[in-house]
Amino acid sequence: MDTWKILLAAGGAALLVSCGPAPQAGESSQPALPPAAPPVDPVAAQRPADEAVFIRDVEQITHVSTDGAKNDIEAQNIKDSADSNWCISYNKLGEFQRWVGRIRNIKGFSADPNSGDPKSTNFEVDIGTTFLKSGDVYNDGTEIYRTVSNMKEGDPVVVSGTIDRSAEYSGCEYNSDNIDKTGLDVHYTSVEPLSERTDWRYRSATYSARKPGR
């Protein structure tokens, strides 16, 4: 075979190898985009630092492990240390501002014509490791009543208020190992809906998660 024919044949083979097989009919030649990240939870994304610390402290006090203790004395010391740390966290908590969670157990109470009490509501707010509860009722005509009456169970909310230290068994020594079940006694001063789609931090985080190449 002539030299130029040999070179042409070799070049053609190299061209086929470098280009790879041609795309089949209906197939795209564009590289596949990475799968979209799941949406950012607006509650987790907007949780303030002091609430995050409190949630961590609740997690620690309700999951104290004494499995590694050498004996019952050391196990009790571990529990006492955890109780002490919990009381420090609980006792320094007075007001809470713009904590986030999900509303639950919305109750509606009818007006009482005998006492003159108007319609009212009561509710709880789940913050993850425990929940905020109030012995107060919020009367028809108040801003909290109007806000809550337009919500459904599980809606994200922003709440502010104070710790209710007058409630029965509200001291740290009573709720140290079961606050996840008993909740935190509070007085609400404001309740607002937390938008899942319009908050700029939610939009920014979602856009960054979905942007190809990020």
Q: Answer whether residue 55 is part of any domain.
A: yes
Q: Answer whether residue 66 is part of any domain.
A: yes
Distance set, CA 178 to CA 34, 101, 175, 192, 205 (Å) = 43, 19, 5, 28, 35
Instruction: Write the pLDDT tens digit of every residue in 150-183.
Output: 999 999 999 999 988 876 666 676 666 678 888 8
**Domain total in the chain:** 1
CATH code of 103's domain: 2.40.50.140
Instruction: Report the alpha-carbon distance of residue 96 to residue 160 in Å, rounded.
Output: 5
Strand, coil or helix: 60: helix
The model scores a pTM over 0.85: no
Instruction: Write the pLDDT tens digit of every residue in 33-68.
Output: 777 777 778 898 999 999 999 999 888 888 888 898
Q: Answer whether residue 49 is part of any domain.
A: yes
